Amino acid sequence: MKILVIEDDQRIAELIKRSLEEQDLTVMLAYDGAMGKKLAISNDLALIITDIILPNMNGIDLCKEIRSIKPDIPIIMLTALGTTDDKIEGFDAGADDYLVKPFEMRELHARIRVLLKRNKVNAGTQVFLLRYADIELNQYTKIVKRNGRTIDLTPKEMKLLEYMLENPERVLSRSEIAEKVWETTFDTGTNFIDVYINYLRKKIDKDFPVKLIHTKPGLGFILKQD
């Protein structure tokens, strides 16, 4: 498995490279966004790890560029920026996971294993249509429609809706959503899950008389008809 690490701090990049090679992974390095994009597009990669603050092209724009060409490749963002808004910006750009510096290498290894396992499972999974009430999500085309109207979602909004469609009429806690959708532990100091629920509500509920996403105070959220 070949992994691309895009990090302008060469010391950190080399540390990550050596650590991953000890896990029997092949690692390519890029020290700026432009070179990272070139290597990402021209190589068959299992996963990409990128910093956000990079020369020539920042990690947010880089992630968007890669996503437009290789929509299924897992991407982990590494950054010193750890606020809710920073995380949301990274997820909106298409990142699958977000690790704040400084971090332990074993945590990075764990995140990588989860994403590689998920991608392997998804590659062998039959695509089908998820439906509940008048909303549907095509897992192949990534097209969402409600009452026949197409709704544009960001990658993380799409993944959140997909999980809710797979678990309709069941209360989903913030911890469960963090684990299953973001594949991370819920940080009670941030409210990014509530932010994404609100994003989703505005897109799939605001213009329709029947609301589908409901809050259960103290418990979490549920997809159900009124």
Q: Any idea what the Cα angle at residue 16 is, between residues 12 and 17, rounded to 5°? A: 115
**Tens of pLDDT along 83-105?**
778 788 888 888 998 888 888 99
pLDDT at site 125:
47
> Residue for token digits 């989903």?
172
**Tens of pLDDT along 137-176?**
988 788 999 988 999 999 889 999 999 998 888 999 999 9
Predicted TM-score of the model (pTM): 0.62
Residues near 132 by beta carbon (within 8 Å), at least 6 away in sequence:
165, 168, 212, 223
How far, in Å, are 11, 109, 130, 171 from residue 174 at the CA level? 36, 24, 22, 10
Structural domains for the chain: 2-123 (3.40.50.2300), 129-223 (1.10.10.10)
Q: Which of 70-84, 123-137, 153-167 is predicted with the least confidence, judged by mean pLDDT? A: 123-137
- Secondary structure of 87-128 as H, E, C letters: HHHHHHHCCCEEEECCCCHHHHHHHHHHHHHHHHHHHCCCCC
Tokens of 211: 């609301």
